[in-house]
Amino acid sequence: MAEIPKEEFLLPTTSACAGCSSSLCLRYILKASGPDTVLVIPACCTSVIQGMYPKTAFQVPVYNIAFAAAASCASGMSAAFRALGRKTKVIVYAGDGGTVDIGLQALSGAFERETDFLYICYDNEAYGNTGMQRSGATPVGARTTTTPGGKTHPKKDIELIVEAHRPPYLATACSAYPTDLFQKVKKALAIPGASFIHILAPCPTGWKFPPGKTIEVGKLAVKTGMWVLYEREYGRLAISAPSKGAMTRPLPLTDYLSTQGRFAGITPEQVQELEGEIARRRERLLREVE
Amino acid sequence: MHTIATGNRGVAEAVREAKPGVIAAYPITPQTEIVELIAQFVAGGTMAGTYIPVESEHSAMAACIGASAAGVRTFTATSSQGLLYMHEMLHWAAGARLPVVMANVNRAVAPPWNVWADHTDSLSQRDTGWLQVYVATAQEAYDTTLMAFRIAEHEEVLLPVMVNLDGFVLSHTMQPLETTPAGDFIPPLHLPHAIDTSQPAGYGPLTGPEYYYTFRWEMERSMRDARQVIREVEEAFYQKFGRRYGPSEEYRMEDAEVAIVAMGTLGREAQVAVDRLRGEGIPAGALRLRWFRPFPRLDLAGREVVVIDRDYSFGFGGVLARSLQATTPCEPYSVIAGLGGQEVTYADIAGFVRQRRPGDEYWFGVDAGV
């Protein structure tokens, strides 16, 4: 296992909420990519985490761009660095709204054109920075400020959409397993072309759990199979170590749901619907690895 | 080299001479020929840049922004709906102080669908912080595109430039075109705020009320400074290539008592109308406005003014007429003509002058002539 550098590229004491999993992810992502990196960020929680002008919380350049435009901006930037003969890594770091909803067209175009970049979606399953409105990535039954009775539509499967573009590297990660995330970022950046990493990023503010429980909630997501850690290198699927247990002996889903206030009003039918989704995905992935 | 070429080819040939590192574009009628030609130049090895075939105009401008921010010369082209779809990113390119150059082939805005010449597409982008120039011949399209790179990249400007040419009447008609190697006319791009990972910085982060206005003022100061830079670059262009344009092109204006003011191809048509009117004893002159942003300071004192607008701002009036009225003392006869490619001849323009009523607005084809 590669040693994780001590060097930090996200300075301590940012304006992130207490218990923010995204700041943890950013630390490990930048440790993996090193200083010759540009982060391209659309409107998202990281727009806040970076701090206000004239200060920045990052030790790498951060390029802010309009909500729908992260992947296309990164396309141009990557082409420009290559034209200049530079190997600078271009990483889009976007939330779920900026990825599965408003940024989807640009994302699709950039992957179709095999842009040399890494696109990371940190998914807190709602529009966090504007105060937790529903996104296409919000799961069934979750309360948000625009789904006060709980969301009635299932979560959009962005991984299948990206997979349809046949990227050379696609992986999932979770902030509760930063070493796994570190290794996946390393691998993604070593492979030329367009790579995608989808991170589940538990959000104490929006999901309504105590800030001290961020890691515990993330681990329960993985152990119940609500979130599966895997990677696809040139299409070939491998289940990541932290998810292996849940592929055969998952914990009851309610262990995960009961940790969060957003699921307080979930109906038994919606729990069944989620369990059905989890089982179908598990079977699909197991069939593929066997 | 002397050739016969369309306005679109004039733009594409100039872009090849300017040697951009990244071109990101999306096709749209009647601009498509520009991106096709550039794609062919790149594929054929006569142009070294990277051509990014983006999936939308919003992405075209976003890709230009990303590339320009890395310190590379960039170009794109669009028209009408494409320009409108870019709107958000137009503000972004200007606010980020990136010298992107874009050709916009002026075309009407839908609905109803109409692919013919109209200036409402670009004039409705007038507050985005882009410099805007309107050309009237294929040669001028070539020359102005070359100048646009040098103006945009000038350290006292660092704002994007939009070169506008009328759809079909200019984009698709064949005219004489002289192309010449640009040599060192456009110096290498030196972007002072290009991304440098050895000097990490935040670009465009959240900025509070105590700073935000300073960035807006910097944009306006550069827009004002651009007037002088445009004059210098036009002069340098004249010294090197022997062709001169200026912020606006004046025709028989020295002793004119009536000035016809227009932009684009109608501004050239007006010159023919001037000759006809002079033959009738009407002392007319024509002023074809090239640079709309920054808006020129014109002196029309003591003259009657007839303004032809190929555009309209609903509930307000012709954009050019009202802009002129706001910046120089005059009481224009505002003619709305040529919308969506409506046929306007020099005889029609002469008629507008004969029937002029200072302060009135006249919709050609709608209002009864006088």
Q: What is the pLDDT of residue A78?
A: 98
A157/A137 Cα distance (integer angstroms): 8
Please report, in tens digits, the pLDDT of each residue of chain A (290 residues total). Answer: 568 999 999 999 899 999 999 999 999 999 999 999 999 999 999 999 999 999 999 999 999 999 999 999 999 999 999 999 999 999 999 999 999 999 999 999 999 999 999 999 999 999 999 999 999 999 999 999 999 999 999 999 999 999 999 999 999 999 999 999 999 999 999 999 999 999 999 999 999 999 999 999 999 999 999 999 999 999 999 999 999 999 999 999 999 999 999 999 999 999 999 999 999 999 999 999 98
> What pLDDT digit, counting tens, does each position of A116-170 carry?
999 999 999 999 999 999 999 999 999 999 999 999 999 999 999 999 999 999 9
Please indicate, yes or no, whether residues B117 and B219 belong to a single structural domain of this protein.
Answer: yes
Domain encompassing residue A193: 21-289
Q: What is the pLDDT of residue B136?
A: 98
Domain boundary among B226, B241, B256: B241
Q: For A195, which DSSP code?
A: E
Asked if B196 reaches chain A (Cβ–Cβ under 8 Å), the answer is yes
Residue B125 domain-assigned? yes
CB B119 within 8 A of CB B167: no
pTM here is 0.98
Number of domains, chain B: 2
Residue B201 domain-assigned? no
Q: What residues of A are in contact with residue B66 (Cβ under 8 Å)?
A: 40, 63, 65, 72-78, 80
* Mutation site, B22, B74, B199, interface A, largest A CB count within 10 A: B22
Domain encompassing residue B359: 248-363
Please indicate, yes or no, whether residues B178 and B257 belong to a single structural domain of this protein.
Answer: no
Please indicate, yes or no, whether residues B222 and B274 belong to a single structural domain of this protein.
Answer: no
Find, among B12, B26, B17, B95, the residue nearest to B63 by Cα: B26
Please indicate, yes or no, whether residues B284 and B221 belong to a single structural domain of this protein.
Answer: no
Which of B59, B70, B196 is nearest residue A80 as measured by Cβ atoms? B70
Asked if B188 reaches chain A (Cβ–Cβ under 8 Å), the answer is no
Residue B48 domain-assigned? yes
Please indicate, yes or no, whether residues B34 and B167 belong to a single structural domain of this protein.
Answer: yes
Residue A56 domain-assigned? yes
Number of domains, chain A: 1
Contact A75 B66 (CB under 8 A): yes
Closest Cα in chain A, distance from residue B111 (Å): 24
Backbone region of residue A184 per phi and psi (left: phi > 0; alpha: psi in -120 to 50; beta: other values):
alpha
Residues 51-80, chain B: which have Cβ within 8 Å of A? 52-56, 58-60, 62-72, 74
**Three-state DSSP string of A200-237:** ECCCHHHHCCCHHHHHHHHHHHHHCCCCCCEEEECCEE
The phi and psi torsions of B81 (rounded to 5 degrees) equal: -60, -35
CB B93 within 8 A of CB B100: yes
Which of A36, A53, A63 is nearest residue B69 as measured by Cβ atoms? A63
Q: Which two tokens stand for residue A88?
A: 């600078």
Please indicate, yes or no, whether residues B70 and B117 belong to a single structural domain of this protein.
Answer: yes
Residue A229 domain-assigned? yes
Please indicate, yes or no, whether residues B170 and B268 belong to a single structural domain of this protein.
Answer: no
CB A133 within 8 A of CB A127: yes
Closest Cα in chain B, distance from residue A280 (Å): 33
Q: How many CB pairs (< 8 A) connect A and B? A: 167
Please indicate, yes or no, whether residues B33 and B122 belong to a single structural domain of this protein.
Answer: yes
Low-confidence ranges of chain B (pLDDT < 50): none
Residue B307 domain-assigned? yes
Residue A122 domain-assigned? yes
Contact B202 A53 (CB under 8 A): yes
Please indicate, yes or no, whether residues B222 and B354 belong to a single structural domain of this protein.
Answer: no
Please indicate, yes or no, whether residues B122 and B55 belong to a single structural domain of this protein.
Answer: yes
Closest Cα in chain A, distance from residue B42 (Å): 13
Question: Domain containing B302 — which CATH number?
Answer: 3.40.50.920
Sign, Cα dihedral of B77, B81, B85, B86 = positive
Q: What is the pLDDT of residue A2?
A: 65
Q: What residues of B are in contact with residue A54 (Cβ under 8 Å)?
A: 211
Please indicate, yes or no, whether residues B87 and B141 belong to a single structural domain of this protein.
Answer: yes
What ipTM does the predicted assembly reach?
0.97
Sign, Cα dihedral of B83, B84, B87, B89 = negative
Residue A276 domain-assigned? yes
Q: What is the pLDDT of residue B370?
A: 59
Q: How far is CA A179 from CA A5, A24, A124, B294, in A?
A: 11, 11, 20, 54
Q: Which two tokens stand for residue B357?
A: 């009523």
Residue A3 domain-assigned? no
Asked if B211 reaches chain A (Cβ–Cβ under 8 Å), the answer is yes
Contact A56 B202 (CB under 8 A): yes
Residue B200 domain-assigned? no
Q: Residues 6 or more apart from B193 whose CB is under 8 A from it?
A: B97, B203
B223/B114 Cα distance (integer angstroms): 33
Q: What is the pLDDT of residue B368?
A: 85
Which of A68, A76, A108 is nearest residue B63 as measured by Cβ atoms? A76
Q: Residues 6 or more apart from B343 whose CB is under 8 A from it?
A: none
Question: Domain containing A132 — which CATH number?
Answer: 3.40.50.970
Please indicate, yes or no, whether residues B265 and B214 belong to a single structural domain of this protein.
Answer: no
